[in-house]
Amino acid sequence: MKKKTLTTNQGVPVTDNQNSLTAGQRGPVLLQDIPLIEKLAHFDRERIPERVVHAKGAGAHGYFRVYKNMALYTKAKFLQDPEKKTLVLVRFSTVVGARGSADSVRDPRGFAVKFYTEDGNYDLVGNNLPVFFIRDAIKFPDMVHSFKPAPDTNIPVSSSANNRFWDFISLSPESTHMITWLFSDRGTVKSFRKMEGFGVNTYIWVNDKGKGVYVKYHWKPAAGIETIDRHESTRLAGEDPDIATRDLYDWIASGKTVEYELNVQLMEFEDEFKLDFDPLDATKTWPEDKYPLMKVGKMVLDKNPENYFAEVEQAAFCPASVVPGIEPSADKLLQGRLFSYADTQRHRLGPNYLQIPVNRPIVDVNNNQRDGFMQTGTGFSGTVNYEPNTLGGGSPCQSGDLTFGDRPFVGGEVRQKIALTNDFQQAGEHYHSLSKKDQDHLVDNIVDSLGHAKTDIQKRMVKNLTNADAELGKRVAQGLKI
Ligand code: HEM
Neighbours of 81 (CB within 10 A): 15
Per-residue pLDDT of the chain (482 residues; tens, 9 = 90+): 899 999 999 999 999 999 999 999 999 999 999 999 999 999 999 999 999 999 999 999 999 999 999 999 999 999 999 999 999 999 999 999 999 999 999 999 999 999 999 999 999 999 999 999 999 999 999 999 999 999 999 998 877 778 999 999 999 999 999 999 999 999 999 999 999 999 999 999 999 999 999 999 999 999 999 999 999 999 999 999 999 999 999 999 999 999 999 999 999 999 999 999 999 999 999 999 999 999 999 999 999 999 999 999 999 999 999 999 999 999 999 999 999 999 999 999 999 999 999 999 999 999 999 999 999 987 788 999 999 999 999 999 988 876 666 666 667 778 899 999 999 999 999 999 999 999 999 999 999 999 999 999 999 999 999 999 999 999 999 999 99
Instruction: Please enumerate in sequence order all residues whose Cβ is within 8 A of that of 192, keeping only pairs 6 or more positions apart, or say none.
Output: 58, 92, 109, 244, 247, 248, 258
**Structural domains in the chain, sorted by start:** 57-146+190-358 (2.40.180.10)
* Dihedral (Cα; 167, 172, 176, 179), 10-degree rounding: -50
Do 278 and 26 contact (CB within 8 A), yes or no? no
Side-chain-side CA neighbours of residue 79 (13 Å) = 21
Side-chain-side CA neighbours of residue 400 (13 Å) = 1
End-to-end CA distance of the chain: 70
Q: How far apart are CA 416 and CA 407, in angstroms?
A: 22
Which atom of ligand 1 sits closest to the CA of residue 139? 1
Amino acid type, 38: E
Residues in contact with ligand 1 by the CB-under-6-Å rule are 51-54, 57, 91, 93, 110, 112, 125-127, 132, 137, 140, 200-201, 282, 315-317, 333, 336-337, 340-341, 344-345, 348
**β-strand partners of 303:** 61
Q: How far apart are CA 316 and CA 176, in angstroms?
A: 30
Q: Counting beta carbons within 10 angstroms of the beta carbon of residue 17, is it exposed (0 to 12), middle (13 to 18) or buried (19 or more)?
A: exposed
pTM here is 0.96
Calculate the alpha carbon distances from 430 to 152, 185, 273, 378, 474 in Å: 36, 13, 22, 51, 16
Give alpha helix (H) positions in 82-175.
140-147, 162-170
Let me know how long the chain is: 482
Active site residue 430: no
Q: Which SS3 state, helix, strand or coil, does residue 31 take?
A: coil
Q: List the residue whose alpha carbon is closest to atom 26 of ligand 1.
A: 126
Active site residue 445: no
Calculate the alpha carbon distances from 185 to 133, 219, 251, 308, 437 in Å: 17, 18, 23, 29, 10
Q: List the residue whose alpha carbon is closest to atom 1 of ligand 1.
A: 137
Q: List the residue whose alpha carbon is closest to atom 12 of ligand 1.
A: 51
Q: How far apart are CA 330 and CA 281, in angstroms?
A: 10
Q: List the residue whose alpha carbon is closest to atom 8 of ligand 1.
A: 341
